[in-house]
Amino acid sequence: MFGIDSLTGPAYSAAIVGLVLGEAMVLYVGYGGLTRAVGTRITDAIGGRP
Amino acid sequence: MMELFGMSATLIVLFVGFGLMIGVLFGFFGMGGSFLVTPALLVMGYPSRVAVGSGLAFVFGTSVIATLKHRDLGQVDYKLGVSMIIGTTIGIEVGKELVLHLETLGLAGNIISVTYVVLLGGIGLFVTYESLKGRSGGVDHDVDADAEVDADDIPDIAKKIQSYRVPPMLTLRGGIEVSLWMVLAVAFVTGLLSGFLGVGGGFIRMPALFYLIGVPVPIAVGTDLFEIVFSGGIGSFLYAQSGGVDLSIVAPLLAGSALGARVGSAATSLVDEEGIKIYFGLMLLGGATAVAVRQVGNAYGIDVLNTVSFALIIGSALLVSGAVVYSSVQALREERNPAPSTAD
């Protein structure tokens, strides 16, 4: 799974840690962008415009 | 049934949803992100090493995101953090070996569960008790970066420990001098908990840094976060070597929690944490009860108790994250549409 099955030992472990680190960074940037893009609209939709 | 990465779509949705709830809790309370993950995985029937290893990998990902958000706070004592990594690494390795050894004896699930019941139950009772008495229980990660700590605020026990001048001595930020051996001991114990239970260990490390070493709270918070990145990363690496990290669990959990953490941290500006903290304590008690119920179910072969246990864990997380979201929506609506004042 995730293309790392052929790896073994420390290389496999490093790949696992790297994938989790990569996902965390992608999520941080992705959700950050999403928040900037639609955050205000969602807040307005929930709370109504002041 | 639709499958993705060898997992059913239902299971992926379940993990994303569970991660979302955990993320709301972590973003709002600043702690508790991993308390319920390992017990939930144990209840779902995953082997101990997978439950603990995947829990640690989840903690690692969550702490990376939290560190990226807090990277400009400048509250990390790197000398202390790096010194602690040695003790943490040894602690995690010992914790992992303990889990693997107990697994070969067939006792890992039981002993990890009992430890969880004691730990979750104890902290849950403490937080609930403090909330009922109107005091702030637990650890506040959201502190003033510029807060000055008075020397008189250093706990007596920390002063006592600082008075044992066993070389080599470390000089920490704020001019605190403490024996390296004390720092290594605190790091070892928190590392042991991380390696054994699959948690970040912040709920022990943060108070230990303050109460035992006398590190000012803001620096203890930053250094704790720095440590969790390392303990989570090192723990994931060590567990991955024995096949203990399942990415099909970690990836959806992290995807949900990263979004939930944004919701939770946004909620902190709308809702008073103290008003909801009692639910947090009750949630921990719910988690402890869930693990205990599962143990009873396993001991007496009552399958339905496994379902009850799972429902308790999900229900506890749903109740508290739901309370955070509901209170935030209410507060936002009141803020945007204030009730007209009535004249007598």
Q: What type of residue is B102?
A: L
Q: Are B289 and B312 in contact (CB under 8 A)?
A: yes
User: pLDDT grade, residue A19 (50/70/90)?
Assistant: very high
- C-alpha span between A42 and B228 (Å, rounded): 32
Report residue B277 as tokens.
Answer: 């903290």
For B48, the token pair is: 């101990």
pLDDT higher than threshold 70 for residue B342: no
Which percentage of chain B shows pLDDT scores above 90? 9
Q: Rounded to whole angstroms, how far apart are CA atoms B266 and B260?
A: 10
Helix and strand numbers, DSSP H then E, in chain A: 1, 0
Mention every residue, 6+ apart, whose C-beta is less than 8 A from residue B43. Answer: B290, B291, B294, B306, B309, B310, B313
Q: Do A19 and B240 touch (CB under 8 A)?
A: no
**Alpha-carbon gap: A18 to the closest alpha carbon of chain B (Å):** 9
Tell me whether B17 touches chain A (CB under 8 Å): no
- Distance between A35 CA and the closest CA of chain B, angstroms: 8
ipTM score of complex: 0.90
Query: Angle CA(B249)–CA(B91)–CA(B242) in degrees, nearest 5?
Result: 40
Q: How many CA atoms, within 13 angstroms, populate the side-chain half-sphere of residue B176?
A: 33
Contact across the interface for B5 and A2, Cβ inside 8 Å:
yes
Q: Which residue, B51, B40, B22, is CA-closest to B196? A: B51
Strands B177-179 and B169-171 turn out to be antiparallel
Residues from A in contact with B at Cβ < 8 Å: 1-2, 9-10, 12-14, 16-17, 19-21, 23-25, 27-28, 31, 35, 43, 46-50
Interface contact flag, A20 B250, Cβ < 8 Å? yes
Q: Which residue of A has its CA nearest to B331?
A: A47
d(Cα B206, Cα B80) in Å, to the nearest integer?
A: 13
Q: Structural domain boundaries of chain A?
A: 9-50
Which amino acid type is present at position B124?
G
Domain ranges of chain B: 3-334
User: Which residues in chain A touch residue B235, judged by CB atoms under 8 angstroms apart?
Assistant: none
Would you say A4 and B243 are in contact if contact means Cβ atoms under 8 Å apart?
A: no
The pLDDT of residue B44 is above 60: yes
Q: Do B215 and B183 contact (CB within 8 A), yes or no? A: no
Q: Does B258 touch chain A (CB under 8 A)?
A: yes
Q: Is the pLDDT of residue B141 over 70?
A: no
Q: Please tell me which residue of chain B has the smallest CA distance to A48.
A: B336
In the structure, what pLDDT confidence band is assigned to residue B2 with cuts at 50, 70 and 90?
low
pLDDT for B338 beyond 80:
no
Verify whether the Cβ–Cβ distance A48 to B337 is below 8 Å: yes
User: pLDDT tens, B190-240?
Assistant: 888 878 877 767 767 777 777 777 777 767 777 777 788 887 888 899 889
pLDDT, one tens digit per residue, over B292-335 is 888 888 888 888 888 898 898 889 889 888 988 898 888 888 87
**Rounded CA gap, B270 and B327, in Å?**
8
Q: What average pLDDT is seen over chain B?
A: 80
Cα B6 from chain centre: 29
Q: Hey, is the C-beta of B6 within 8 angstroms of any chain A C-beta?
A: yes
Nearest residue in chain B measured CA to CA from A22: B61
Q: Is the pLDDT of residue B254 over 90?
A: yes
Q: What whole-number distance in Å separates Cα of residue B196 and Cα of residue B204?
A: 14
